[in-house]
Every structure is written in C-alpha cells, then in structure tokens.
Chain A
Amino acid sequence: MFEVYRKEIKWGGKLLTFETGKIARQADGAVMVTYGGTTVLCTAVGALTAKPGIDFFPLTVNYQEKTFAAGRIPGGFF
C-alpha cells in the first residue's frame, strides 16, 4: 500500500531521518523528519492555479505543537 522512501544521516552526533510516502499522501509534499527523538510532520500544498489580482506570493506557514508530542493533555495542571 505504501511506497516509502527514507534517508538517514548522522548529524551532530544524532540520527536525522527523512521519510516520505506513508503519511499525508494527498499533500503535494509530505515528509516526516526525526532528529534524535523529536519528530515533525511537514506538508506542502500549492493550488493548481494562481489567485487572480494579487501581486504578492500568498504563502502561509503554520507550525503547530501538539501536546501529545510530550505525552500531555492540554490545559490541565499537574
């Protein structure tokens, strides 16, 4: 079902892994990057046609941290 590609290098004494082909396959580009034990899923999508009437490049970047990444439920105090 999946056509997975991986690339691993040792960088700054830790393993850096790029993986694509398994998750978020409908995005134009989707790569899971893992450095040490930190993992970020990055996706890139571009519309097929230009938006008419704008003279700037409509790029949006959203970086989001999920609290499950740290094994927590948001909002609570412990």
Chain B
Amino acid sequence: MVFFKREGRPSEKETLVSRLIDRPIRPLFHKNYKNETQVIATVLAHDMENDPDVVAILGASAALTISGLPFMGPIGACRVGWDGNNYILNPTIAQMKDTTLDLVVAGTSDGVLMVESEASELSEEIMLGAVDFGHGEIEHVIKAIIDLAEVAAKEPRPLPDEPKEKDEYLKKITPFRKKFEKAYKEIDKSSRSTILSHIRNEIILEFGELANSTLLSSLTKDIEADIVRSSILKTKRRIDGRDTKTVRSIVAEVGTLPRAHGSALFTRGETQALVVATLGTGQDEQIIDALEGEYRSKFMLHYNFPPYSVGEAGRVGSPGRREVGHGKLAWRAVNPLLPSGDDFPYTVRIVSEVTESNGSSSMATVCGTSLALMDAGVPIKKPVAGIAMGLIKEKKEFSVLSDILGDEDHLGDMDFKVAGTEDGITSLQMDIKITSITKEIMEIALQQAKEGRIHILNEMAKAIGSPREVLAESAPKITTMKVKLEKIRDIIGPGGKIIREICETTGAKVDIEDDGTIKIAASDAESSQAAQSRINDIVAEAELGVIYTGKVVKTVDFGAFVNFLGTRDGLVHISELQNARTEKTTDICKEGDDVKVKVIGFDDRGKVKLSMKRVDQDTGEDIENKKED
C-alpha cells in the first residue's frame, strides 16, 4: 500500500457504488439487447461536501441517455436524510453525521427502481415518506437530462430484432407447459429440481443440437416464471407449499464454537449462516483511506458465500462484488445498534460463513450477527433481524411474499430486504423492475415485512434474548483509565521505550489517545492489573506532607536515596535521618531497608525532599504534627 503510488484494486466503496449504479440502470435496457456494455464513472473532483456516488448515478444516466443505446431512461437519483422533523435533500457529508437516515433512491419519473438505506430504527412510515420525497425531487434532474438529450443525443441505435425463430420455438415449447405445471406442484426442492431438469432436457432433445440454445433457455425460463407467478396470484400458494406470509422454520443457536468470543448458527429453511464475533482492541481497528480523508472503523462484517453452500464446486478466492455488497447490507442493518466507543471500547469483527443457501443469506447474516454479538456480550441496544421479500404484480392483482426462496428471487417485480428491531427499520434495500408499484402497495409490502421480522425476532429470542453480562473467557479485557495530558510523554518514554517495556513485561496492550484516555487490553485480569499499576506508578505525584513507605536504593555521604512512589526517588538528607546528629548515613539505614518517609518539599529542580525523622518508623505515624498538638 505504502509503496504503490497509484490507485490499486477497487476499494469497498468503489465496489459498492458500482453496484449502486448498476442496479437501477440494468432493468432499463431493452430486453433483446445483449451487447457487451460498459459504464465507467471516474471521480475527478471531490469538494468534501457532496458525495460523488449520487453524482455518478446521474452521470451514468445522462451518458446512457445520449449514447443512442437502447436504454429506456433517463433515471434520476438523490440522497435523503432525516433530521427528526424534515427530510433533507442531498445532505452534505458533514450533515450526514447528524442525520438518522442515509437513503439513496433512484428511479424514472414513472416510478422508483432502487432504494438503499441505513437508518436508526425509523418507522415504516418515515422510510416510505423518504422514498416518496426522494422520488419527487429526482423529477427535476430527469427533466434536465431530457433537455440535454434533446440537443446532444446521438441517433438511437435500431432496437434489436426479435429472434426470427421465436414464434416457431414458442409453438414447439408450449406443449411442455403442462409438464412444468405438474412439476411445480412438487413441494420438495430436490425432487422438484430433478423433474424440472428432466423436462428441460426433453425440450433440448426435441429441438436438437442446432437449436438457438440462448433463445430456448430464455423462453423456457419465461414459461416457468409465468407458471410460478400465476399460481401464486391464483392460489396464494408457493412452490414449497407455503402461503405468502409464512416464514420458513427457524432454528437459532448460540455458542456454536466454544473457543470463539461469540458465535451463532442461524438456520432458516435451507439457508444457514455460521456467524462468529471476535473482539479486539484499538489496534485492530480498520483504517479506511477514503477520498474525504482517513478514518477508522471499529465494526467490520465479512460475508462469505462458499460454493458448497449451494452444492457446487467452485473457486474460493477474494470476495466478489456480490459478497462485498451483501456484507455491507448486513453491516448497515446492525451498525445503528452497536454501543458507542465510550461504552464498549472493543473493536468487533463479524465473519459470516453461509453454509447452506436457498435465498436470503444476507438477511440470515443479519440474524446470525445479532445472535453472535449477544453471545459475545456486546451490549447491542436491541436484537435485530432481517427478511427478504418479493412482490408479484399482474395488472391490479398483487401478492407479497415473505422470506423468499432462491427460486423466487428475480421472479418478483420487486425484491426487497428489510432489517430492523422490534421498534424500527435499520436497513431497507429495494430493487424494482416495473414502474407501476405505488406507495400504497409499498406500504402493504412493508407492513407484511414487519410481521415477518417480528416473528423472526421471537424465534431468535428462544436462543438468546439479550447480550450476555460477561465477555467470553478468551476475549481480551479492556480497561480504560484517564491521565493528565502532560503525563502522556512520561508513559510513552523516549522513543516509546517505557510503553514498550510495559507491554513486554505485563503482556498487555496499551493504547494512549490524544485526550489522555488509556486503554489497556490484556488476555487476563492479572496482566491488565500489572499494566495499570505500572501506569499508576508513572503518573502518581508525590504530595507534600504525605507519608509513604519506601525502600533505600542508595546511601551517600549526605543522606539516603529512597524509592517511595512507583519509579520515583527522593533524598532523605543526613540531617533528616534521625533527630540526633548522624555521623554516617549507613549508621541509620543501608541499601534495601524498608523505611517510612514524609514528603517535606521539592527543590528547585523538582526533586523530592524526604524525611525519616518526622515519621515514627515503627507505626508510620507523623511525629511532627504530634509535637505541635
């Protein structure tokens, strides 16, 4: 990193914004257009006020609109904040710090196509209001892009033709519809897939090797989708036999991995996530090098989707765009519920391994994360759960599906994911393919999502309902103390010598912040206490008139040096050793003797002057004051 002075592989933000642009523009290309297409958005200037992500969506929309490509836009996009009373259009980066909502909405003038958001437990009503507000505002931008296109657009490319074989193919496939209908009545997933792939093979055989396989598979897909969709609308039953509202059966378990700081196994139907929480110290924080400056993150969430989770063999490597996106979605859902750094000084890393998947693994990750955090003793404000939903609409009729399966994903006209607590939404993500979904329909859909979320929260509470009181034995123990600013340099020492020595001898990790807060992290209480007392010794100051117990470290002609307070030494002048005159220091004390001393003053170089004669060496009582009484 430090050695490569050029931009490297995409950062998390770049990957996420690439997806954010992709999601609303993809459904607007003509369905027969299959040419390789690329949109590149390059941030050339950042004013540190306006996040370039929304600007990039607008630019992508404008570039596509004037390009002549078969893009049915333009779209507009904006960011919406909420200050408790009002929505804020395109809040600045500084304003975002105080808002309880970060919502990006994109769409055409007919309807919303995409919503991405993080919220501090806001109600369905406020969330929907934000979508509506945003959709109203993007109208202005859409108009501006149309104005630009009117003067600057290229000739539209001819729309791709319907493949000429289409009608002939359709005629030949239609007889198979009955077979598909029967197959989709099979509730068990594996026997259903066997029958389905059998029918698909039959169709391929019917057409022979020379057939246009792309067209064939897309026509077959259309028929299958139509069967599933109309059956749901007609019978309100789904391919696995559920009605539209039922969530698949859930088993939640915590403490799955005994050596982890916190762990959970969340299973919902055929989707399962093993989620592990690890606690760390300030040194484990992630440093993020953003355009708007470097910042640190105390909460990391890493989502992995290994190929075995869907019974496939495949490559395992660095996470793809989908994994980064799902991880961030779960991160947004949980982030608003984490305790503040003052209440809980630990860095938290979550790893979610999706071990089985049949839809909605990102929401299983949210549930598993909530459980694993509570198992680790992280004092999250409330448990949080997530649910993936679908919506199917034909003319006036529509059905909302709770907890969709892998097979139902992309089948719907609206796929949306809602995460939140019993009191409100923390994350809402929507992808909409048609423009006729009204606010009223969204309201009904969000209400059904809420019922599902509450049900899942109740199921999760059977495993654990609130954070554990104590951290796992193996978790680091962090204690916080505060010292005066001028003492920081004494603790660090020249070139970090002292602090290094403390860490080495006690085994604890010591982080000093600029405001004098010291965080001591140790694997056990003993080493934490050892480090604390070392620091206390350094910062302690001798107080005038106070009596300390010390040890003689050196005797000289003019008195004895006594170590009395941590690393602090003071001099007992020969005249202060005893009330009578002393010939030689060693007559009274020698190196290694335990003595009681009183602080009687400081010389002009700050050195401490001590006295032994003013203290009763047996009882430790102050004789000087007694005399005065």
B-binding residues in A (CB < 8 A): 5-9, 11-12, 14, 16, 18, 20-21, 27-70, 72-77
Contacts and interface: CB of A to CB of B under 8 A. Distances in A.
Interface in B206-265: 213-215, 217-218, 221
Interface stretch (B1-9, B170-178, B301-309): B1-9
A42 B214 contact: no
B35 A38 contact: no
Contacts of A12: 78, 89-90, 137
Interface in B151-191: 151-152, 154, 157, 160
Contacts of B17: 63
Contacts of A61: 18-19, 21-22, 25, 38-41, 60
A76 B29 contact: no
A39 B49 CA distance: 12
Contact of B45 (A6, A44, A69): A69
B144 interface: yes
A37 B50 contact: yes
Contacts of B65: 29
B43 A65 contact: yes
B55 interface: yes
Contact of B41 (A48, A51, A63, A68): A63
Contacts of B217: 55
A42 B59 CA distance: 5
Contacts of B221: 55
B485 interface: no
Interface residues of B, number: 81
B35 A44 contact: no
A59 to B, nearest CB: 5
B40 A42 contact: yes
A76 B1 CA distance: 8
B63 A7 contact: no
Contacts, number: 258
Contacts of A77: 2
Given A59-B26, A63-B18, A37 B45 contact: yes
Contacts of B147: 7
**Interface SS, A side:** strand
- Among B3, B18, B25, B152: residue with most chain A CB under 10 A: B152
Given A61-B22, A62-B18, A40 B37 contact: no
A38 B55 contact: yes
A51 B62 contact: no
12 contacts: A16-B144, A18-B148, A20-B152, A28-B63, A29-B62, A33-B56, A41-B41, A44-B63, A51-B36, A61-B38, A64-B14, A75-B2
Contacts of B1: 75
The 8 closest A-B pairs by CB, nearest first: A37-B47, A42-B59, A29-B67, A29-B63, A28-B67, A33-B59, A5-B152, A39-B45
- Among B43, B51, B289: residue with most chain A CB under 10 A: B43
Nearest to A52: B214
Given A35-B50, A36-B50, A38-B52, A57 B34 contact: yes
